[in-house]
Chain A
Amino acid sequence: MKDYIYNSIKKGIINGLSIILIMAKVIIPCYIAIEFIKHLGLIEIISKFFRPFMGWFGLPGEAALGLIAGYLINLYAAIAILTPLNLSTKDITIMALMLGISHALPVETPVTQKTGVNGWAMLLVRVVFSLISGVLLNLLWKLL
């Protein structure tokens, strides 16, 4: 009995550390990249370019970078990009909802496919519902 508790904690710590290692590899380069982009004044340009699209979700244009990073890489990359952008609670919550539904697509789509379910259908469902929920939560937030 004691053994099983000890082993569980030990394995949990090892897994936790390996996840942090994966995280660090993604977060540090993304963080540095976004600080450079900010410093070079590119945020304005990116923000302007994505504003019409991100407006659907009530988000500032530059949040598109976090959305793209989350979809294609993973949530940690998205967080590394969103943190320096200093978004409001509302913006972060909407981003979190959209990214929570749909993220790390190149990794997770093959996983869903291996269960025997059509991976492409699942991919479509996730992206579509991610976008729809973003629009919905933005509207709900305005009502409340």
Chain B
Amino acid sequence: MEIIITALKDSFSLILKLFIIILPLTISYEFLKHKQSQIEKIRFSIFGITHNGLVPLITGIIIGLTYGAGIIIHSIRTSNINKKEAFLILLFLSVCHAMIEDTLIFVVIGANGFILIAFRFALAIILTYLMYKSKLLKS
């Protein structure tokens, strides 16, 4: 019985800590949604990912795949993103997504956040670049 009570107490304090982190994120996500039309105006192209892919890319990096799914699926289907670009975006996101939430919840239990972010961004950029240059993908 004692084990259950300790486990409950500890898990509640963990949930509370996570809640304090999640709340600012979900609120800022709502503000970010309003900025979507402004983000769509930016023009650029870097290793196969163009401005068309910017909205799904930013959504994925900040919010993650589970909660950002709606926006990511919608914007990949509706804007002029070809198969190759979609693959590159998803490849980038597969390594580098939900960067704020994922990092912070592990920092709460003692991880080094700087190493996490630096490593994941570096790996995602290298991977996407190599895939873009490689001849495996021909649209």
Contacts and interface: CB of A to CB of B under 8 A. Distances in A.
Determine chain B's interface SS by DSSP, over half rule: helix
B34 A4 contact: yes
> Is the interface on chain B under 10, 10 to 19, 20 to 34, or 35 or more residues?
35 or more
A39 B3 contact: yes
Interface string B60-99: 0000011101001100110000010011001100110010
B59 to A, nearest CB: 12
A12 B23 contact: yes
B25 to A, nearest CB: 8
B42 interface: no
A101 interface: yes
A contact residues, range: 35 or more
Nearest to B10: A31
A76 B98 CA distance: 13
Given A97-B119, A112-B90, A137-B119, A20 B19 contact: yes
A116 interface: yes
Given A12-B23, A23-B18, A115-B73, A100 B109 contact: no
10 contacts: A4-B34, A15-B26, A24-B15, A31-B7, A35-B4, A76-B18, A89-B111, A93-B112, A97-B116, A101-B123
